[in-house]
Amino acid sequence: MGTAASAPVEKPQHITVEFDVSCSIPVEEIVNISEQAGKAIMQIYNSADHGVELKGDESPLTKADTESNRIICEGLQRVSPHVPIISEENKTLPYSIRKGYQYCWVVDPLDGTKEFIKRNGEFTVMIGLVQGSAAVLGVVHVPVSGKTYYAVAGKGAYVRDADGTTKQIHAKEFSMTDPGLVLVGSTSHANPSNNTAMRDFVELFESPTFNSYGSSLKLLMVAEGDAHVYPRLAPTMEWDTAAADIIVKEAGGVVLQAGKITGKGELLEDWKDVLVKELPMEYNKEDLLNPCFVVFGKRRV
């Protein structure tokens, strides 16, 4: 007696299951993690041995970077074990994996390592949460002052002092034609005196004041109203801006793309042509190198 032929069955690997995971993450938890990392950084900062070495790209790495990264990653894994982490000090996974992330943490455990080594106090801890390609939560802790800045999309931007006092912050309102605007730039990188693109940008303003600071402090200055504009026409990575990006936005400012750049600082696009498009920064890209960007406070039309 013959056996009936079985109908072909679709292989299991071609069957997919789609589901959403709901999770609530208290901002206070992320603030606490950043402050714990800040305390560890300060212990090393005040010690005799920073354990400085060079990474493959010749950028410096210290004991503080490594210890802060450990504290942050362990803390984030405890709070949100299902959310992947992109950190400057972790191995970056291929984009073929990362492009499927609905959410991811973007972390710089010690933003401003060069400033840390110089002992000028201008360094921060940065923890940002990205949804798709946009930052939606940001916490930036300043270890030397004890201040912590934070923001969530649609909820406003805030700063908490070392004594626990918390207040909402707002970017300063201005017009691009106002004289005497305050511009900020990098302590360790390009400045108007030796960079043609920066000099051209600064020349757009009437009698501006130009100050130099390290790390993400420059974005925070715009968010808090201590500066009007921060042009960055030099290389940065996504973890250098993600956390502070949403803080600026929630304070009433913007962070806009200003053209592609190489890791060596070669401009691939004219910043003027790109800036007028008003394009927001994007995160978890295939290439984690940021484009040039400009941070504006609250511009009057």
First CA to last CA across the chain, in angstroms? 86
Q: Are strands 254-257 and 124-131 parallel, antiparallel or unpaired?
A: unpaired
pTM of this structure? 0.90
Domain covering 173-299 in this structure, CATH number: 3.40.190.80
178 annotated ligand binder:
no
**Of 78, 66, 61, 59, which Cα lies nearest the Cα of 41?**
66
Q: Known binder of ligand: residue 108?
A: yes
The closest alpha carbon to 236, from 198, 275, 188, belongs to 188
**Residue 30: which of 157, 144, 152, 179 has the closest Cα?**
152
Domain coordinates in residue numbering, the chain:
27-168, 173-299
Report helix, strand or coil for 184: strand
The per-residue pLDDT for 195 is 78
- Check residue 60 and give its pLDDT: 81
Known binder of ligand: residue 88? yes
- As a whole-number percent, the residues of the chain with pLDDT over 90 amount to 80
DSSP string, 70-120: HHHHHHHHHH-TTS-EEETTSPPPPHHHHTT-SEEEEEEEEE-HHHHHHT-
Are the C-beta atoms of residues 59 and 117 closer than 8 Å to each other? Answer: no
Residue 189 pLDDT exceeds 60: no
110 is known to lie in a ligand binding site? yes
What does the pLDDT look like over 63-116, one tens digit per residue?
A: 999 999 999 999 999 999 999 999 999 999 999 999 999 999 999 999 999 999
Do the two domains 27-168 and 173-299 of this chain adopt the same fold? no
User: Given a cut of 80, is residue 5 above it in pLDDT?
Assistant: no
- The correct answer on CATH 3.30.540.10 for the domain covering 27-168 is yes
Q: How far apart are CA 148 and CA 138, in angstroms?
A: 10
Q: What is the mean pLDDT of the chain?
A: 91
Instruction: In whole angstroms, give the CA distance from residue 84 to residue 87.
Output: 10
Q: Please give the full DSSP string across 144-181, using - where no structure is assigned.
A: TTTEEEEEETTTEEEEE-TTS-EEE--PPEE-TT-TT-
